[in-house]
């Protein structure tokens, strides 16, 4: 063999070796990365090759699968009462991905979760039968919330104070996830993206707003826990009108005739006296208020229920006047309905806050449990004494104060209204809030609720927590107690 042929042979051999090395590298080291790549169409084909597992409410699926008429994706997601449960399920779309429970539990629902596979599946590489996600949602509470909110823009959350189970979660206006589940739903998708009311946003978890006077429950908790006042029935040192510290700005009360001067915390909650809670906030200072807010769940970046909730915020680096404004749930205080439901739940359960969750378990196709979410995982927020006193004051709000529209015959109901300023100088329609709890001693059932109505179309003068939000809360509480 001459030198030229020998060199050519060696070069070709090296090329073959390089190709073998590269092929082995791709098959051994890059295989998983390529398989998991979002642009790998085979993953989507496999995901929708057969019916998906379901999201379950009270034993019945609120999701389904439908055979497609064409294309390489055999099935697409369908929804029963899609608008009613959109804030719970999220959407599963062949074109636009998945959100909320559909996204979090995607591998379980499409059968690719390793926990679903048996030994033969591992050997053959076959996909396992899809599993299901069992929620804690009570359909009666869910329907009550959705029906009561109606055409209003807003959100509502109900939870069991003892267990932390989320019984209802609604965001309006809603949308039907079925309309965007296929590959040819571009028009519906673009319409949702252009919707000025942002119906794709889960307002119950992802829309923190100024909580207004509902935040006074947190301030009252801080006042009692820090010994500023010994009880809700002790007179406070609260001039009316009250001038914000270091300013000439006078803080007014909604009702000029309300007995707010030096009012007790009970009376101040009953009439929602701004002067009292602004003065309490200024006297306590921002650090003590922030510490109490954080115990209730504010400033928590990772509140997963299991859907991630946006953080509710108590602001930092304020002057005395700004701190006073936080006492009435203004300045830069923000909260989600989920957060304000947690406040009422902690007070309802003797000062202990149960971790909120809306999934009870995840199962395989045969019903065997893959993952379970425990009830009653609690943390102490305030003392039993503080919780009992504030429940008593919240009952006064409902029986004789600003929350009378939440009354339920035969049940103990306590609550707090709120009307929060919206925009610079309150130029926009205010937000109407209500947070509450209800107990039925005969049955032992109880529930905590928070409702916000961002916009009902009502005139500004008609916007109030009692007028707009409390009736929604009452419907939800009635459904929970009767469930």
HEC letters along 188-256: HHHHHHHCCCCCCCCHHHHCCECCHHHHHHHHHHHHHHCCCCCCCCCECCCCCCEECCCCCCEECCCCC
Q: Phi and psi of 465, rounded to 5°?
A: -65, -40
Is the Cα dihedral 142, 143, 146, 149 positive or negative? negative
Tell me, yes or no, if 213 is annotated catalytic.
yes
CA gap 62, 244 in Å, rounded: 52
**Measuring CA to CA, which residue among 355, 455, 463, 375 is closest to residue 417?**
463
Q: How many helices (H) and strands (E) does the chain have?
A: 18, 20
Instruction: Please give the sequence-ordered ranges of beta strands (E in DSSP) within 68-159, or none if there are none.
Output: 75-79, 92-93, 97-98, 132-135, 153-159
Task: Name the catalytic one among 199, 213, 221, 344.
Answer: 213
Q: Phi and psi of 126, rounded to 5°?
A: -70, 145
| Calculated CA dihedral for residues 266, 272, 276, 281, nearest 10 degrees | 100
56: enclosing H helix or E strand: strand 55-57
CA gap 168, 170 in Å, rounded: 7
Active site residues: 213
């Amino acid at each position: 063999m001459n030198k030229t042929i020998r060199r050519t042979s060696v070069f070709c051999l090296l090329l073959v070796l390089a190709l073998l090395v590269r092929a082995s590298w791709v098959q051994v080291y890059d295989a998983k990365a390529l398989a998991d790549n979002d642009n790998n169409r085979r993953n989507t084909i496999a995901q929708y090759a057969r019916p998906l597992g379901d999201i379950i409410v009270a034993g019945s699926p609120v999701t389904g699968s439908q055979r497609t008429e064409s294309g390489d994706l055999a099935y697409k997601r369908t929804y029963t009462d899609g608008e009613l449960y959109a804030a719970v399920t999220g959407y599963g779309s062949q074109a636009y991905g998945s959100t909320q429970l559909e996204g979090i539990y995607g591998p379980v629902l499409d059968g690719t979760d390793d926990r679903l596979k048996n030994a033969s599946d591992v050997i053959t590489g076959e996909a396992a039968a899809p599993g299901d996600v069992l929620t804690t949602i009570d359909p009666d509470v869910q329907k009550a919330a959705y029906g009561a909110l109606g055409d209003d823009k807003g959100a509502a959350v109900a939870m069991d104070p003892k267990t932390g189970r989320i019984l209802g979660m609604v965001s309006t206006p809603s949308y039907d996830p079925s309309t965007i589940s296929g590959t040819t739903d571009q028009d519906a998708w673009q319409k949702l993206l252009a919707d000025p009311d942002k119906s794709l946003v889960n307002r119950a978890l992802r829309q923190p707003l100024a909580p207004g006077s509902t935040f006074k429950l947190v301030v009252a908790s801080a006042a009692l826990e820090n010994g500023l006042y010994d009880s809700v029935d002790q007179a406070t040192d609260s001039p009316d009108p009250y001038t914000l510290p270091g300013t000439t700005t006078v803080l007014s009360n909604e009702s000029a005739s309300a007995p707010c001067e030096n009012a007790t915390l009970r009376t101040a909650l009953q009439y929602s006296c701004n002067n009292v809670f602004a003065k309490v906030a200024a006297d306590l200072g921002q650090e003590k208020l922030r510490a109490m807010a954080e115990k209730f769940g504010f400033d928590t970046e990772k509140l997963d229920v299991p859907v991630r909730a946006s953080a509710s915020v108590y602001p930092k680096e304020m002057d005395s006047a700004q701190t006073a404004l936080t006492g009435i749930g203004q300045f830069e205080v923000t909260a989600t309905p989920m957060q304000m439901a947690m406040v009422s739940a902690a007070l309802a359960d003797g000062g202990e806050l149960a971790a909120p969750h809306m999934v009870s378990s995840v199962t395989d196709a045969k019903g065997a449990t893959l993952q379970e979410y425990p009830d009653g995982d609690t943390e102490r927020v305030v003392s039993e004494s503080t919780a009992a006193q504030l429940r008593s004051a919240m009952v006064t709000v409902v029986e004789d104060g600003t929350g009378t529209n939440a009354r339920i015959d035969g049940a103990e109901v306590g609550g707090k209204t709120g009307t929060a300023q919206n925009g610079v100088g309150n130029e926009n329609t205010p937000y109407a809030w209500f947070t509450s709890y209800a107990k039925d001693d005969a049955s032992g059932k109880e529930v905590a609720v928070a409702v916000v109505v961002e916009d009902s179309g009502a005139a500004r003068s008609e916007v109030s927590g009692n007028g707009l939000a409390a009736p929604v809360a009452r419907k939800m509480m009635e459904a929970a107690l009767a469930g």
